[in-house]
Amino acid sequence: MLEQKDEQLLIDLTSARGVPGNEEVREVFKTYAKDYADEIIFDGLGSVIAKHGQDENSPRIFISGHMDEVGFMVTKITEKGFIEFQTLGGWWSQVMLAQQVEIKTREGKLIHGVIGCKPPHVLSVEARNKPYDIKDMFIDVGGSSEEEVKSWGVRPGDMITPYIEYKRLNDSKFLLAKAWDNRVGTAVALRVLENLAKDGHPNQLFAGSDVMEEVGLRGARTSTYLANPEIAFALDTGTAGDTPGMTPKEADSVLGKGPQILIFDASMVPHKKLLNFVTDVAEELEIPFQYTVIAGGGTDAGQMHLTRQGIPSLAITVPVRYLHSHTSVIHEDDYLNTVKLVTEVVRRLDRTTVDQILSY
């Protein structure tokens, strides 16, 4: 089972709000990182990096999650006090209706609401049999007019996040929360930083969390440029294939069977020698892992590997059920084994090993 401090980290990270461009999660990261970092630095967009290790001749290793979650932005308050919104990140309309949300105003006030639409009773049979269009949805905050809702401090551009409380599902190892994508990757980066700061490592470690991944891997481009690493790892989430209805081809990742190592995704073909190095470490130490292909998505490694002169990169991900929804689920063993694997990989990336990986 998770230690209490690990579980509290996960609670703090998933409870924080942070849509692309409004990532308040940065404050949680700074709080947890400050005792283990030699310095904490930021790129111009707000990505945060905790550095540990001062030997300038040691290799520069970058490990990073992303701190933003899929969410929404207020675009308009209607005459009758309903909220029109813009999605931030990829949403499937069928997981949105009747879900609760919170709007955070500039002054910090939280406005509770629910996503609504026309009742199905007034829709045609044809319309009821189709997914409801996101552009026709709205948020009901219990206001009676535009003036009333404005008086609460709501204005266009305000952040809207899913509303849900972290739960351990029935004393199991399955953990329910919003925003596992990608607060769990951020948690991994923080725990690896702590492990290596305490036990030692042969490199300059840059442990970070990027902004705006969900809208095009934007923060990874700027944070990787700032860190200027020789090797980089994106710590993210991947789809689980262990729920009813999945075909054998789709069911290649199972919760509880270890981190996923991406051998291909839509944003990157991983560096072969780095991939082999990581899987060799996992096999030597008997850390369970799963090979994964994500043909329809990418991770921050897609930008990491294209930065500056090209950075050998790899994505290591935690499998998640019900990604990009209010209610996603992970298995705690996958989180713990991802921390263990990344810790041991970074610990072994000394100058000789990095030079061998970079040698052509």
Q: Which residues are annotated as a binding site for Zn(2+)?
A: 66, 181, 214, 236, 324
Q: Alpha-carbon distance 237 to 319, whole Å? A: 6
Among residues 213, 250, 284, 332, the one annotated as catalytic is: 213
Distance separating alpha carbons of residues 172 and 74, to the nearest angstrom? 37
Our answer to whether residue 213 is catalytic in this structure is: yes
Give the DSSP letter of residue 23.
E
How many angstroms separate the CA atoms of 118 and 75, rounded? 19
Other C-beta atoms closer than 10 Å to the C-beta of 58 total 18
202/275 Cα distance (integer angstroms): 20
Considering only CA atoms, give the Rg of the chain: 21
Element (H, E) at 26: helix 25-33
Q: How far is CA 351 from CA 13, 201, 202, 231, 281, in A?
A: 33, 11, 8, 11, 17
Closest CA relative to residue 10, chosen from 331, 342, 321, 301:
331
Task: Give the residue numbers of the binding site.
Answer: 66, 181, 214, 236, 324
- DSSP-derived pairing of the beta strands 260-265 and 313-320: antiparallel
- H helices of 116-179, where? 125-128, 146-151
- CA end-to-end distance (rounded Å), the chain: 43
| Backbone dihedral region for residue 144 (phi beyond 0: left; psi -120 to 50: alpha; all else: beta) | alpha
Integer angstrom CA distances of residue 349 from 59, 150, 277, 286: 8, 54, 10, 19
In whole angstroms, give the CA distance from residue 236 to residue 5: 21
Q: Which residues are catalytic?
A: 213
